[in-house]
Amino acid sequence: MIAPYGYDEQNYSALLESPSWSHLFGTDDLGRDMFSRIVYGAQVTVIIGFGAVTLATVLATLLGAFSAYYGGAVDTTVQRLVEVWQSFPPLILLMSIIVIIGRGELQLILAIAFIFTATTSRVIRSAVLAIKNNVYFEAGRILGATDVRMIVRYVLPNVAPTIIVLATVQLGAIVLVEASLSFLGLGLPPPFPSWGQMLSGAGRRYFVENPWIAVWPGLFISLAVFGFNMLGDALRDVLDPRLRSGQ
């Protein structure tokens, strides 16, 4: 409904055309409408971004809450595994996973979520450890609440603001990661467009003579990252009780 052309619709009579009323953002080296490809590329950002951050947040919450709640040897074992997990260079590990499991939306979501789970779980673990020292947590245990009820009733509601803010802030980072993978040729296979892929191909070859080919995808990557970061800051201001009390 938004894109005036298909993302792979080629017009060989309008190769590398400058921005005009018929092609608002110009065309690329195959005569494809840049505006339409930017719009379709936004689908990649939304699907992979929200899919990866949702999966990473769920896994990190389970891992961090489990580790902090049971503590002791369980916490020590889990944290040593997480430290080994984090010791691998993220980009190298991510590229290795993509090479093994293949390229596609689901594969990218799984790979990116795997990378972000470890760091997020450490933050959630710290938040759960702080909750364990509160009086209401001890009262729930004294009243005989089961582990499941303690986690669902006392732990998750109190760490929910932290989880929401973390997930929102990570959206910007995931956009950059997806764009980086696409730039390196490990994103979605062509002809389906992604902003990083648009920067890597014609964007590099024709940037000097036709700068709009690289300017538009680069601009929208920047705007998406900036927008998600601003959203994360706004949610932190709203959800963090310490910040609310200071206003």
Contact 179, 194 (CB under 8 A): yes
Ordered per-residue pLDDT tens for the chain, 247 residues: 888 888 888 887 777 777 888 888 888 878 888 888 899 988 888 898 899 999 999 999 888 888 887 878 888 888 888 888 888 888 888 888 888 888 888 888 999 999 888 888 888 888 888 887 777 777 777 777 777 778 787 788 888 888 888 888 888 888 888 888 888 888 888 778 888 888 877 667 777 777 888 888 889 989 988 988 888 778 877 776 555 554 4
Sign of the C-alpha dihedral, residues 200, 201, 206, 212? negative
Residue 246, Cβ density class (10 Å: 0-12 exposed, 13-18 middle, ≥19 buried): exposed
> What would the two tokens of residue 76 be?
């020590």
Helix (H, G, I), strand (E, B), or coil: what is residue 209? coil
- Give the right CATH number for 34-245 from 1.10.3720.10, 1.10.760.10, 1.10.10.10, 3.10.20.600: 1.10.3720.10
Q: Where are the alpha helices (DSSP H) in the chain?
A: 34-70, 72-87, 90-101, 105-132, 135-142, 147-149, 156-183, 195-200, 202-205, 212-239, 241-245
Give pLDDT, residue 56. Answer: 92
Give pLDDT, residue 51. Answer: 92
Give pLDDT, residue 75. Answer: 82
Assessment of whether the complete model's pTM goes beyond 0.85:
no
The residue length of the chain stands at 247
Give pLDDT, residue 21. Answer: 85
Contact 232, 169 (CB under 8 A): yes
Give pLDDT, residue 110. Answer: 92
Give pLDDT, residue 59. Answer: 92
Contact 112, 177 (CB under 8 A): yes
- Domain definitions of the chain by residue range: 34-245
